[in-house]
Amino acid sequence: MRVITTIEEMQNTISHAKQDGQSIGYVPTMGFLHEGHLTLMEKAREENDIVVISIFVNPLQFGPTEDLSSYPRDFERDKELAEKKMVDYIFYPSVEEMYPHPSSITIKVNERTDVLCGKSRPGHFDGVATVLTKLFHIVQPERAYFGTKDAQQVAVVEGLVNDFHFPIEIIPVETVREMDGLAKSSRNVNLLPNEREQAPILYQSLLRAKEMILEGERNPQTVITFITEMIAENTDGKIDYIEAYSYPMLEEMTKLNGKFIIAMAVKFSKARLIDNIILEINEK
């Protein structure tokens, strides 16, 4: 495994690999790797000749009130984990390497952003789309892997790739869960013991909602009310949002049909948890 810190070396390396006919699988990360990331790397390892991950805490996707400087970092640990997953290259550029001067060109995401987590993070997805445009051109993968736990991010990335015809297949990978169903997250360690006991209710409520829908419920508001009550009655968490939208367009629906997402964010005392399910119904 090799760590590469400059854009030029990364592009040259990829260019040689491509001339040798090798396929590239790519996992973009902000480091502090957890099991979700490792699953993405495993999938990339299975499906490609070469696996590249990037570790870059992208300042452009942090808002002015969000604490970029305290974002957790542990490169040595990340390196060990990546090596175990047989990653070939870690692209690990500095902020100066990625943003040597203010960009003369900006990218703005106009859809899919003012709902779910995006609502409270204006500009966040512009930063995500900008850094991914750069990274996709640097790593030039055939396939890029994203966890569906950040379903809105996957939706925005699919919009970016489709609208601009990047020759890249976006591969959404299912959320990795604890035995009791809680979505894995580096934030779970911040749950108090009783909160950790309650937290699986989030996913359970989504599974119960899925059952309701499979049994014929088509009114999004009924489903959302059910989930809201189940979480309110069984946890100390404060609901940030529970919403249902078409997927990946993230548009409002009056009736559940086609592909759609039910997503939530719930605040516990020191951890804000998110979870979602994506379902598909095809009725005329």
Residues recognised as catalytic? 37
Using DSSP's 3-state secondary structure scheme, residue 147 falls into strand
User: Cβ closer to a second copy: 16 or 84?
Assistant: 16
Task: Out of 31, 159, 172, 237, name the contact with a second copy by CB under 8 A.
Answer: 159
User: Cβ closer to a second copy: 137 or 267?
Assistant: 137
Residue 80 neighbours by CB distance under 10 Å = 13
Q: Is 125 annotated as a binding residue?
A: no
- Shortest CB 7 distance to a second copy, Å: 6
Range 76-84, long-range pairs (CB < 8 A, 24+ positions): 77/33, 78/31, 78/32, 78/33, 79/1, 79/3, 81/33, 81/37, 81/38, 82/1, 82/33, 82/41, 82/53, 83/1
Q: Verify binding: residue 111, a second copy, rule CB under 8 A.
A: yes
User: Cβ closer to a second copy: 6 or 222?
Assistant: 6
- Residue pair 216/257 in contact (Cβ under 8 Å)? The answer is no
User: Cβ closer to a second copy: 131 or 264?
Assistant: 131
Q: Verify binding: residue 204, a second copy, rule CB under 8 A.
A: no
Q: Verify binding: residue 146, a second copy, rule CB under 8 A.
A: no
Q: Verify binding: residue 247, a second copy, rule CB under 8 A.
A: no
Rounded to whole angstroms, the Cα distance separating 124 from 169 reads 23
Task: Out of 89, 92, 146, 166, name the contact with a second copy by CB under 8 A.
Answer: 166
Show the site string, 29-68: x = touches a second copy by CB under 8 A, - = not. ----------------------------------------
User: Judged by CB under 8 A, which stretch of 67-75, 130-138, 143-151, 276-284 contacts a second copy?
Assistant: 130-138
Q: Verify binding: residue 190, a second copy, rule CB under 8 A.
A: no
Range 125-129, long-range pairs (CB < 8 A, 24+ positions): 125/61, 125/152, 125/153, 125/156, 126/60, 126/61, 127/58, 127/59, 127/60, 127/61, 127/62, 128/58, 128/61, 128/153, 128/156, 128/157, 129/156, 129/157, 129/160
Under the rule (CB under 8 A), what is the footprint of a second copy? 7, 11, 14-15, 18-19, 21, 103-112, 129, 133-134, 137-138, 140, 159-160, 163-167
Numbered residues of the known binding site for beta-alanine: 61
